[in-house]
Amino acid sequence: MVLLFVRAPQRGTVKTRLQPVIGEEGALDIYRCFILDILDTLRTANLTIRIFFSPTDSREEITDWLGHVFDYTPQTGESLGERMENAFVQMFSEGTEKAVLIGSDIPDLPASIFYEAFAALDANDAVIGPATDGGYYLIGFRNNTFMPEIFRGIKWSSGSVFRITMDIFEAHGCRPHVLPIWNDLDTGDDLRHFFLRNRRSDFAISRTMSYLNTIAEKLIGHG
């Protein structure tokens, strides 16, 4: 089961750190592309998906956008850590055997990473994917190895999230499988490098890249 964290596509509330480069409307447009590209990858890979959405009162807005083919659950909790912990608790209480959680900042993450993550959980208690900014883009557990402590006492959106998380794993005697490092997309520089890197990749035909091609002059010129 893939747990995908999604925020309602509301102008001014998504991808706020990209707004100085591409504006509020551009940030909203690119966010929609991110989500749709991730869902395309997951569905093509035949992976089961549960969408955890926020705010909690945005179910109708989310389903009007993404359709009724997915299962939806509101995110609950004050901090990001609480929301992630509660998402795993929800899924494991329903009997899910293996789950990995991702956010919306990795539109070019290939199916091979998800296959590796789930395969790793057959032999490891946990799996984690480090991001280039010091955070992580994916984390997963088996039902019987879930560690809620991994989401507690962490300063989120800092450059030390991955390191501190690994320290918590070690303190509990757990050695997670570590996936390849990946770039998540938070800043204008992230987006610019992503665009230049993917112009000749398999991801070049994606919604995200198609949109970035329409603003390429603004994107590259801003650098």
Question: Across the beta sheet with 49-54, what order do the strands follow?
Answer: 71-74, 49-54, 2-7, 98-102, 136-142, 126-130, 177-178
Cα-only R_g, the chain: 17
Per DSSP, 180 falls in state P
In sequence order, what E strands does 55-135 have?
A: 71-74, 98-102, 126-130
pLDDT at 222 over 70: no
| Two tokens, residue 126 | 């946990």
Q: Would you state the structure tokens that stand for residue 171, as one six-digit string? A: 């303190």
Q: Whole-model pTM?
A: 0.95
Mean pLDDT of the chain: 95
Q: What is the pLDDT of residues 14-60, one digit of tens each?
A: 999 999 889 999 999 999 999 999 999 999 999 999 999 999 999 99
Closest residue by Cα to residue 99 from 43, 49, 140: 140
For residue range 141-183, list pLDDT tens digits in order: 999 999 999 999 999 988 999 999 999 999 999 989 999 999 9
Domain boundaries defined on the chain? 2-185
Residue 167, token pair as written in the block: 């320290």
Q: Retrieve residue 209's tokens.
A: 């890249």
Q: Which fold has domain 2-185?
A: Spore Coat Polysaccharide Biosynthesis Protein SpsA; Chain A (3.90.550)
H or E stretch covering 201: none
